[in-house]
Amino acid sequence: MITIKNEKEINLLREGGRRHALILSKLAEAVTPGVSTDTLNSLALSLSKEHEVIPAFLGYTPYGVHRPFPGAVCISINEEVVHGIPNENPRIVSEGDIVSVDLGLSYKGMITDAAVTVAAGKTDAESKRLLEITKKALIAGIKAAKGNGHIGDIGYAIEKTVSGSGFSIVETLAGHGVGYAVHEDPYVPNTGKRGEGDLLKPGMVLAIEPIINEGNGRILFSKDGYTTKTADGKRSAHFEHTVLITDGEAEVLT
**25 sits in which H/E element:** helix 7-29
Label residue 14 left, alpha or beta by phi (over 0 means left) and psi (-120 to 50 means alpha). alpha
Contact 41, 71 (CB under 8 A): yes
C-alpha distance from residue 11 to each of 25, 115, 133, 185, 243 (Å): 21, 21, 31, 21, 13
> How many C-beta atoms surround the C-beta of residue 63 within 10 A?
5
Strands of 189-239, DSSP E:
205-208, 211-213, 219-221, 228-230, 236-238
Give the whole-angstrom CA distance, residue 187 versus residue 198: 9
Q: What is the pLDDT of residue 226?
A: 97
Give the whole-angstrom CA distance, residue 244 versus residue 145: 9
Per-residue b or e along 15-45, where b marks 16 or more CB atoms closer than 10 Å to that residue's CB: bbbebbbebbeebbebbeeebebbbbbebbb
One pLDDT digit (tens) per residue for the chain, 254 residues: 999 999 999 999 999 999 999 999 999 999 999 999 999 999 999 999 999 999 999 999 998 889 999 999 999 999 999 999 999 999 999 999 999 999 999 999 999 999 999 999 999 999 999 999 999 999 999 999 999 999 999 999 999 999 999 999 999 999 999 999 999 999 999 999 999 999 999 999 999 999 999 999 999 999 999 999 999 999 999 999 999 999 999 999 99
Give the whole-angstrom CA distance, residue 44 versus residue 135: 23
> How many C-beta atoms surround the C-beta of residue 50 within 10 A?
12
Contact 104, 72 (CB under 8 A): no
- Look at residues 97, 78, 82 and name the one whose alpha carbon lies nearest to residue 34: 97
In the chain the first and final C-alpha atoms are separated, in Å, by 23
The DSSP symbol for 236 reads E
Q: What is the pLDDT of residue 64?
A: 85
Q: What is the pLDDT of residue 245?
A: 98
Contact 246, 125 (CB under 8 A): no
| Overall residue count recorded for the chain in this entry | 254
Q: What is the pLDDT of residue 74?
A: 98
Q: What is the pLDDT of residue 130?
A: 98
pTM across the whole model? 0.97
The DSSP symbol for 250 reads P
